[in-house]
């Protein structure tokens, strides 16, 4: 009987010991499991800062309807009714093909221009990890206002212009975000002696949150490479804006020294001047479906 009790005791002892050791092993394995990396919230609420693109993309399956408007020169006052007499309009759509790729198309009254765009994400800013979000952006413009009758040698390729951008942003806090973007502009048809076929810019933009639904935005792009002795008659684009979040869309008020809204013209053909020159007021409206 004593031997039987002893064997029973030893069986219970080893069973409990094995179960405890198994729990310790499982706990160690759980501790070694990599925790899921948390992606930082979007640095910007809008797909644009003002005129420049932000690093925000539509989610997969989302449709964005885009309506943008820029009035004429504000500084002329009643002569053009504060810009209402010669406004420009952009209407288009953007589709989130995946969470890292979106495609867009728009029609603009400036040069009766069609613009195609692609935006794609290389990396996300990670909480306590990778420090920035990196996005690529490309556009192709088709100038449909050029007439064959006035330009007999005109080819379709002469209508095309392009931009390539690498956009890098960081959300420093809930109320402050910043981005920088090297930008390349290429025109197949350009004003010889007035502008260059290939132009390079360095853009930067920031967002400062004022309240739950309001933020003020600022952006600027500087020409980086010029042919020796060449002086561009155009200005570096400088814009300030106000984001207003209203339910299903972001409404942006913008004041800029560039009236056109296509990327090529924004960077290379800004005619206004904040130092006593022309300024253009308008808005961007994005509606999500």
Q: How many CB atoms within 10 Å of residue 136?
A: 14
* 107 & 208 share domain: yes
* 115 & 253 share domain: yes
54 is a domain residue: no
Q: What is the pLDDT of residue 179?
A: 98
Q: Give the Cα separation of 79 and 185 in Å (integer).
A: 34
Decide if pLDDT at 118 tops 80. yes
∠ CA(228), CA(260), CA(68), 5° rounding? 150
Decide if pLDDT at 170 tops 80. yes
Q: What is the pLDDT of residue 276?
A: 83
* 9 & 96 share domain: no
Decide if pLDDT at 34 tops 60. no
50 is a domain residue: no
Contacting residues for 120 by C-beta, under 8 A, at least 6 apart: 100, 101, 102, 135, 136, 137
Arithmetic mean of pLDDT, 158-169: 97
55 is a domain residue: no
* 208 & 279 share domain: yes
* 18 & 97 share domain: no
Query: Nearest to residue 205, comparing CAs of 174, 231, 171, 230?
Result: 171
Q: What is the pLDDT of residue 167?
A: 98
pTM: 0.84
Lowest mean pLDDT among 77-81, 150-154, 212-216, 273-277: 77-81
Q: What percent of the chain has pLDDT over 70?
A: 84
Arithmetic mean of pLDDT, 134-150: 93
* 139 & 265 share domain: yes
* 27 & 67 share domain: no
17 is a domain residue: yes
Q: Is 60 helix (H, G, I), strand (E, B) or coil?
A: coil
Decide if pLDDT at 26 tops 60. no
* 68 & 198 share domain: yes
Arithmetic mean of pLDDT, 275-283: 91
* 259 & 169 share domain: yes
Decide if pLDDT at 261 tops 60. yes
* 136 & 29 share domain: no
What average pLDDT is seen over the chain? 86
For residue 82, name the pLDDT band (cuts at 50, 70, 90): low
For residue 260, name the pLDDT band (cuts at 50, 70, 90): very high
The per-residue pLDDT for range 230-249, each reduced to its tens digit, is 778 899 999 999 999 887 67
Arithmetic mean of pLDDT, 152-172: 95
Lowest mean pLDDT among 15-24, 39-48, 55-64, 66-75: 15-24
- The parent domain of residue 27 ranges over 1-33
143 is a domain residue: yes
90 is a domain residue: yes
Q: What is the pLDDT of residue 84?
A: 75
Decide if pLDDT at 9 tops 90. no
Q: Give the Cα separation of 226 and 224 in Å (integer).
A: 7
Q: What is the pLDDT of residue 11?
A: 40
Arithmetic mean of pLDDT, 68-76: 86
Arithmetic mean of pLDDT, 175-198: 93
Q: Answer with the residue of higher pLDDT: 79 or 213.
A: 213
* 144 & 21 share domain: no
58 is a domain residue: no
Q: Give the Cα separation of 222 and 271 in Å (integer).
A: 14
∠ CA(81), CA(87), CA(92), 5° rounding? 150
Q: What is the pLDDT of residue 277?
A: 83
* Total count of domains within the chain: 2
Q: What is the pLDDT of residue 2?
A: 44
SS3 content of the chain, % helix, strand, coil (to 5): 20, 45, 35
CATH number of the domain where residue 187 is located: 2.40.160.40
Decide if pLDDT at 14 tops 50. no
* 72 & 180 share domain: yes
46 is a domain residue: no
Q: What is the pLDDT of residue 10?
A: 42
């Amino acid at each position: 009987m004593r031997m039987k009790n002893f064997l029973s005791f030893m069986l219970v002892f080893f069973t409990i010991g094995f179960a405890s050791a198994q729990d310790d092993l499982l706990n160690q394995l759980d501790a070694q499991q990599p925790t899921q990396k948390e992606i930082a919230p979007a640095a910007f609420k809008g797909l644009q800062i003002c005129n420049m693109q932000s690093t925000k993309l539509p989610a997969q399956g989302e449709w964005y309807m885009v309506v943008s408007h820029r009035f004429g020169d504000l500084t002329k006052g009643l002569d053009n009714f504060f810009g209402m007499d010669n406004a420009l309009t952009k209407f288009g759509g953007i589709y989130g093909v995946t969470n890292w790729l979106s495609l867009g198309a728009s029609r603009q009254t400036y040069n009766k221009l069609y613009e195609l765009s692609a935006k794609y994400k290389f990396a996300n800013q990670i909480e306590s990890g990778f420090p920035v979000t990196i996005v690529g952006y490309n556009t192709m413009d088709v100038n449909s206002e050029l007439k064959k009758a006035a330009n007999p040698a005109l080819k379709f390729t002469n209508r095309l212009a392009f931009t390539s951008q690498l956009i890098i942003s960081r959300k420093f806090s809930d109320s402050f975000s910043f981005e920088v973007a090297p930008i390349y502009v290429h025109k197949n048809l350009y004003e010889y002696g007035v502008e260059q076929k290939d132009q390079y810019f360095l853009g930067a933009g920031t967002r400062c949150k004022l309240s739950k639904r309001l933020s003020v935005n600022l952006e600027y792009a500087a020409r980086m490479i010029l042919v020796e002795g060449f002086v561009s008659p155009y200005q570096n684009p400088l814009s300030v804006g106000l984001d207003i979040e209203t339910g299903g869309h972001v409404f942006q008020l913008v004041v800029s020294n560039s009236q056109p809204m296509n990327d090529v013209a924004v960077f290379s053909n800004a005619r206004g001047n904040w130092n006593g020159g022309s300024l253009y007021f308008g808005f961007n409206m994005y509606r999500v479906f």
